[in-house]
Amino acid sequence: MRKYIYVTAIVLVIAGTGYAQNTKELFFNNLSQTTTGIEKLSGNFTQEKEFRSLDVRAVSKGLFTYVKNVEMRFDYTEPRIMSMLVDGTSLRVITEEKTTTYSLKSQKNALAEMSKIMRHCMEGHLHELNTEYALTYEAMEKEYLVTVRYLKEDPGNTFEKISLAFDHKNYALVEIVICERTGYVTTYRFSDLRVQPGKQ
């Protein structure tokens, strides 16, 4: 009897693991199919930046635009006017005073890495990041949650994790949360997204 229960338990564990893997693969396949068909995406965003040990929170708002194979940009409208542009190789932060450029390949900061991860996401290649990062997937009640962490612990790592939340119905990216090693937590929330599909 004990042997029967033990074997049954093993079968259930294996079956559950296989189902979880299939569900994860299905999610990434659906996400890839949905996003690769988008030519342009635009909408609003709200950014909240806080420090975990202090009761201080800064809120910014603006417009988000993604154009396939061209650029992804955040145009801040309040409280300060500035822009953040990402193409295939670099991240540019543009203010009234100056423009600062970061390489997405060589630069080690949370903003540049978030931009690279988000660009992979928008292009439908999020799953390809598993060569650089550990990706975990979880199906929530209303959202799919993908958490990105480094494969190896290193003092040079800039973030603890980056979480991406996708809408259950249309796989739209609705939220990004960046937990930096410095203690800062930055949250981007997207709304009123407008999709321009590519030509068939």
pLDDT in tens, 105-139: 766 777 778 888 888 888 888 888 888 889 999 98
CATH number of this structure's domain 2-197: 2.50.20.10
* Mean pLDDT computed over every residue of the chain: 82
Peptide bond preceding 79 in cis form (omega within 30 of 0): yes
Place of tokens 């809120």: 59
- pLDDT higher than threshold 90 for residue 75: yes
Predicted local confidence at residue 116, as pLDDT: 82
Global pTM value: 0.80
- pLDDT higher than threshold 90 for residue 102: no
Q: What is the largest CA-CA distance in the chain?
A: 76
Place of tokens 């890495």: 113
Predicted local confidence at residue 19, as pLDDT: 39
- pLDDT higher than threshold 90 for residue 163: yes
Can you read off the two tokens belonging to residue 81?
């006017």
Q: Do the Cβ atoms of 93 and 81 come closer than 8 Å?
A: no
Domain ranges of the chain: 2-197
CA-wise closest residue to 65 among 73, 55, 57: 73
Cα four-point dihedral sign 96, 101, 107, 111: positive
Parallel, antiparallel, or unpaired for β 133-139 and 143-150?
A: antiparallel
Kindly report which listed range (21-25, 136-140, 186-190) carries the lowest average pLDDT score. 21-25
Query: pLDDT tens digits for 149-161?
Result: 988 888 878 889 9
Instruction: Compute the C-alpha angle 166/191/30, nearest 5°.
Output: 25
